């Protein structure tokens, strides 16, 4: 994996995670997801973050295993970052998932 590919992957992950964490911790002052007397926002955004980080981790580790020569460790670093986001999401927002 080249340095450019690594930076693109990292920018995609960090951008998506930043937006979802922003939505989970305040977000816009618009109406909530679900309407009525309940808010589905934390449930939906937490699940999106879990799915994103889980798929990200698997894809990064597969990319690291498929890389011949070059720098497969960069893909493994991306997989480790995805795993860290996954664990952090479960730790901070595990109660929002049910």
Model confidence pTM above 0.85: no
Residue 32 inside a domain? The answer is no
The predicted pLDDT at position 32 comes to 66
For residues 75-94, give the mean pLDDT: 92
Q: What is the pLDDT of residues 41-69, one digit of tens each?
A: 788 889 999 999 999 999 999 988 988 87
Instruction: Give me the number of domains the chain comprises.
Output: 1
Residue 74 exposed, middle or buried by CB count within 10 Å (0-12, 13-18, 19+): buried
Domain ranges, residue 52: 3-24+39-97
Dump the DSSP string for 15-69. Answer: HHHHHHHHHHTT--SSPPTT-TT---HHHHHHHHHHHHHHHHHHHHHHHHHH--S
Residue 30 inside a domain? The answer is no
Residue 15 inside a domain? The answer is yes
Residue 19 inside a domain? The answer is yes
Residue 34 inside a domain? The answer is no
Residue 31 inside a domain? The answer is no
The predicted pLDDT at position 30 comes to 61
Say whether pLDDT at 31 is over 70.
Answer: no
């Amino acid at each position: 994996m080249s340095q450019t590919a690594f930076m693109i992957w990292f920018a995609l992950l960090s951008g998506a995670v930043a937006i979802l964490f922003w939505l989970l911790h305040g977000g816009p002052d618009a109406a909530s997801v679900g309407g009525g007397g309940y808010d589905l926002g934390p449930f939906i955004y937490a699940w999106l973050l879990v799915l994103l980080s889980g798929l990200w981790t698997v894809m990064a580790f597969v990319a690291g295993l498929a890389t011949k020569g070059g720098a497969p460790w960069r893909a493994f670093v991306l997989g480790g970052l995805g795993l860290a986001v996954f664990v952090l999401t479960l730790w901070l927002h595990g109660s929002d998932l049910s």
